[in-house]
Amino acid sequence: MKRLQLLLCIVVLALAGCAAPPPRGQPTVADTLRDSAQQHAAQGDYLAAAQLYLSASRTAPETQRPGLRLEAGGFLAQGELWEQLAGLLEGMDPGRLDPAQRARYRLLQAELALSRRDPGQALEELRAISNPDALPDYGQRYYELRASAYAMDGNALEAARQFIWLDGLVRNQQQRLDNQYRIWEQLSSLTSPALKQLQTSPPPDALSGWIELVLISRATRGDQQRWSEALYSWRTRYPGHAAEAALLPELFNRLAQAGERAQHIGVLLPLSGRAAESAAAIRDGMLAAYYQLGSERPELRFYDTGQDSRMVWATYQQALDNGANFIIGPLLKENVEQLARSGELTVPVLALNQIDSAEPIDLPMYQFGLAPEDEARQVAERLVADGRDQVIALVPDTAWGARVMAAFAEHFRALGGTLLTTGRYAPDSVDFKGPIQETLNLDDSKNRHRALERLLGQKLQYEVRRRQDVDAFFLLAYPEQARLIRPQLRFYRAADIPVFSTSHVFSANPNAALDRDMDGLIFCDIPWVLDNAGDWSAQRERLAALWPERSNRYQRLFALGFDAYEVLPWLHTLTLPGFGYFPGATGVLTLDHTRTLHRTLEWAQFRRGVPQQLQDQAQTMSMEGQNEPQDDGGLR
């Protein structure tokens, strides 16, 4: 009997030895596959690399199988083979993984969530990793994924925090430079007032150092002498800052290139005809920017394009004959179209309007204007960011209203929003009862009441009920209509539904008496109009002193002229890494693949009849994010 028990013990120990991990120093199955898998990956065949590990996992000891599958998952993620990765992860039970494996599993789940453009889910997965610094790469991938998630979520400050933390882990010089460009890019996407408000920690705080660098680059605008002087002061306050060795030399070169202005600028504007007043406002805004430069100014000459689009090519040639090496304008859309059809532009053009073209025009032509479609898309983004996914729209029954509404609806639906219904009103109306009742389904409520009275044969007291599935209104209107629509919405029991709009609801001149009924309405507008105490406010006051009547009517066109001149030497840098944002009077400017400039605007809300700036959306999200665990992003 004793002999039998001894034999059984030996068998059990032998079987246990078969399932045990290999002795320390002996290569695992994963080790033996690594070189072959890397060869496949180097050739771009990530699926073959993953399949090596998946095949081995079927016959490997049970304790090694999860690790082999996670190795396969890593190659699938590298190759962006998201469907295969999803299937692999679904077949794994995280509860049966050891802590290190569970962390790798969460990282892969986060990558998968980002591939689906779900930053919230990615952050949830990453929060489940309790000690990222204990990962084999000391958390590099962890912080990179967190930064990408916050950036995708529009939380620029928190993305920058994660990149700053990552910067201390990266050893490769080129990778570190790339990472610092990403810090710069995230912070550059914020407005200057937001950056100043976020600079809460004194030197030598790392984040404050980065914020100051961005603000310095904006203040000096490519002036190398001013940049050098400001940088000397910055170095004394932030000794040993991470940007000193990697980014600053590159930054200095790029800013110097950006500061190279054209020596002779021709401006094509319809200074006579129906658009003369608008053109004059743009010209005056341009001159305000021009005279800021001091004595070293380029030659600036204006040309009248009139109303005949056939004359614009001749005017362009005249400017060239006079020595222009850059052209600003024309303004009218038909004139821009005429130049776009020319087939040849000897010197670059910054047109002050936008034409419909999904593909880049094969000419050195940039397009810049106050496109209402851009504003409508930003309203859509704000609604989705605020969690208002079910929306009613109220727009004028005009070609302009249809065009702007189409841009809003397409973008809102692409972001996952639901447009419940759209009401259209006559632009010259003062009574908006019909479209409001229609969009709120008030007629349905009345019909139900009448049907019930007929059924019971008696009069019933009742209260009209509006639909209950509405998160917000999108209102497209000019001030005259908005001042009437807002109180009528309250009358029809929609006072609790927030109303969002474009800049068109505000006249650009605060008037508490006229606008009191618009209290609560939220809208986007340009910094030039909304700034009450900063640089744009000072510029606005200077122009108002020179041209009081025109500045009241055409503030946004003044700002367009100002930015058109200011952005000119920076156009070729807006496509460079880390330099994709230009903070202008009309908003933060970005350039797309068709060479069209787009504006990111600021937000305000009517309170006691006066617009009050709302906290920057990215800034708000960042401050909320600071309350989450592990969101200090390297500023510990």
107 and 144 part of one domain: yes
pLDDT score of 450 more than 60? no
pLDDT score of 617 more than 60? no
39 and 75 part of one domain: yes
pLDDT score of 623 more than 80? no
356 and 416 part of one domain: no
383 and 516 part of one domain: yes
21 in a structural domain: no
244 in a structural domain: no
pLDDT score of 628 more than 50? no
Considering its fold, how many domains does the chain have in total?
Answer: 3
The string of DSSP letters for 329-393 reads ---SHHHHHHHHTSS--SS-EEESS----SS--SSSEEE----HHHHHHHHHHHHHHTT--EEEE
Q: What is the pLDDT of residue 630?
A: 38
pLDDT band for 6, please (50, 70, 90 cuts).
very low
Q: What is the pLDDT of residue 562?
A: 94
Sign of the CA dihedral 409, 413, 415, 417? positive
Distance, CA of 327 to chain centre: 29
Q: How far apart are the first and last CA of the chain?
A: 66
Structure-derived torsion over alpha carbons of residues 398, 402, 403, 404, reported in degrees to the nearest 10 = 100
Q: What is the pLDDT of residue 621?
A: 40
403 and 299 part of one domain: no
Instruction: For 266-304, write each residue's pLDDT tens digit.
Output: 999 999 988 999 999 999 999 988 988 766 788 999 999
DSSP state of 396: E
Amino acid at 254: R
577 and 521 part of one domain: no
pLDDT score of 160 more than 70? yes
Among candidate residues 173, 197, 214, the one where a domain is terminated: 173
Among candidate residues 525, 555, 583, the one where a domain is terminated: 525
CB atoms within 10 A of CB 348: 18
With tokens 């976020």, the residue in question is 198
Among candidate residues 117, 143, 173, the one where a domain is terminated: 173
52 and 95 part of one domain: yes
257 in a structural domain: no
Weakest mean pLDDT among 2-6, 197-201, 247-251, 501-505: 2-6
Q: What is the pLDDT of residue 251?
A: 75
381 and 344 part of one domain: no
Weakest mean pLDDT among 7-21, 49-63, 183-197, 240-254: 7-21
398 and 520 part of one domain: yes
Coil, strand or helix at 129: coil
pLDDT score of 252 more than 80? no
Q: What is the pLDDT of residue 28?
A: 61
- Average pLDDT of the segment spanning 146-170: 91
51 in a structural domain: yes
253 in a structural domain: no
Specify the CATH number for the domain of residue 302.
3.40.50.2300
- Average pLDDT of the segment spanning 604-627: 67
513 in a structural domain: yes
Q: What is the pLDDT of residue 464?
A: 52
191 in a structural domain: no
Q: What is the percentage of the chain residues whose pLDDT exceeds 70? A: 85
20 in a structural domain: no
pLDDT band for 451, please (50, 70, 90 cuts).
very low
Q: What is the pTM of this model?
A: 0.75
What is the extent of the structural domain holding 450? 373-525
462 and 410 part of one domain: yes
Specify the CATH number for the domain of residue 53.
1.25.40.10
- Average pLDDT of the segment spanning 39-45: 85
Instruction: For 302-358, write each residue's pLDDT tens digit.
Output: 999 987 777 899 999 999 999 999 999 999 999 999 998 887 899 999 999 998 776
377 and 515 part of one domain: yes
358 and 441 part of one domain: no
pLDDT band for 379, please (50, 70, 90 cuts).
very high
- Average pLDDT of the segment spanning 367-374: 94
